[in-house]
Amino acid sequence: PLVIGLTVSPDRLVQIRLQKDFPSVGKRSFECPQGDLKLVCQEEVLASPNPRMRRVEVSVYDIAEPERRIIKLVQLVLNQ
């Protein structure tokens, strides 16, 4: 499952980086299944001390064991 989590999170972070819009501060969850694995991704966008940057955290959980995080990745996004 860790390897699969590694593919889900970076894909979402790449999507955010390629968006033209600066991500809004907030939290959301969405299903992100991989093959037979039922996963849920939790994305949190946080303000940073630099107003031109946002901190994006994406965590992946197994729906069957929602208290167990498989992976968490963090990225800073610059408003250009």
Burial of 41 per CB tally in 10 Å (0-12, 13-18, 19+): buried
Determine the Cα–Cα distance for residues 49 and 29; give it in Å rounded to an integer: 25
Per-residue pLDDT band for 49 (boundaries 50, 70, 90) equals very high
User: Average pLDDT in the 53-66 region?
Assistant: 91
pLDDT, residue 33, reads 86
pLDDT at 3 over 90: no
Q: What is the pTM of this model?
A: 0.78
Would you say residue 7 has pLDDT above 70?
A: no
